[in-house]
Structure 1
């Protein structure tokens, strides 16, 4: 700006002392230098603005780079934490897998042992059945010989006592096979005499905690009925037992009879002749020195006595 002012003063001085032509020349030069000065000032201002913008952009770029570095650092920390968590989960899964493999091996060993025991028990049952079959064949041959002999003598070819024993043997084998296929334990099946069977069932096989016949108990009784219906000559006594509660003998008797009556009703419902079923309750009597049945309390057991009267056709 000082240069511009000096030029103006010099121009005024010349115009006051020099001719018009020279004045115009000087004015032209003055305008030229003025324009140069303005151009120089504009370039200087533009350069100053450019430097200022460049400085601001560099500062903004530095801030942006700093934020980017901070974000990358935070992301890296998160990735490291996630990686540690994944490694921990992986180690936990490996440990759980090892435990599962060890548990499965233990379960497999237990199942194999149980299978071996069941196979041994089944082999015993098969041997017993084969022995029973041989005995039945021998008795059939004996009965056949008796029938032939009595036929020659003109008498009844069938001995009622021998026939009752034969029916008892056959029913024993069928019930034994049925129970082996239906339940694992909780029962006993014995022959009280030549023509009488005693089937003892634990309370857990037949009754629920409310002393009502359970669904599993109904399933077992239905299968028993399907077999017993094939023996219309048989008579049945359903005998219930119960423990004494606070010395109340009468209550134990009532509960034992109620359980036997429920079983008799179910037998009748599934098609067994109700006229041949006699429910009874013994209460606490007959509960001493009772062997465990493998399920439930032995004093709450139920016995089914099956007999074939020799005098009934």
Structure 2
């Protein structure tokens, strides 16, 4: 088996239906493995999949274990050489996806992971013309990427205790330490059907901020040279105070305090699991182009 498609989902059946409809050409092929983790959903997702998609291999959690733990489980079960990871609200917009992926892996033997080009919006873009080159980058985005399973099996699993956010950066550092490379592949375009501007208005805004902040601080303690850690933490904390706390954002203030407590609580685990870059390694890593999170069409109003 060369390719698998891995999806984890939680109570988003309508989004998943859209995604699976868009992936129908892959589902109908016998040479592609499909694995979906239903992570404690109570909206009938598991029953729907059993009835309408019998070829998909399913994991069904009675209670939610979280996104990161679910991704670890999927990656432990796949038998494919290359494992494509998609969110349940993401689908491909480009053609010849598998061919483009395989070409890049063959061209770059040290490629441990490919990061896809991702368009974030509820509606797909009118113009999908691209003028980007394949290049090595620092990291990748969780909603659309593909693992070389040799690389995945050479590093530790995603840290499930992060709960949400930061697992991609964790993996990127581990790959760098093992001399595996991450390549941005602009030929594979993913539509992530999310209105990113509305997230700050959603009920889970404070939870997302807390987890985002603490995961960044976790990564400092795990991978950064020790001498850089105090300065980095103080700087990021100052930015949060200036942009949120001093402007009266009470939810953000609570999230920041809780994130600091989380870091303090996990200090023993951070020390135990550290895989710190040397100063030379950190300089080399820092010179790599940043992860490309968003893609916008050229010459458009997007």
Task: Select the structure with the greater relative contact order (CA < 8 A; seq sep ≥ 6).
Answer: 2
- The structure with more helix, counted as a fraction of residues: 1
Question: Structure 1 length as normaliser, TM-score?
Answer: 0.23
Greater Rg over alpha carbons, structure: 1
- The structure with more strand, counted as a fraction of residues: 2
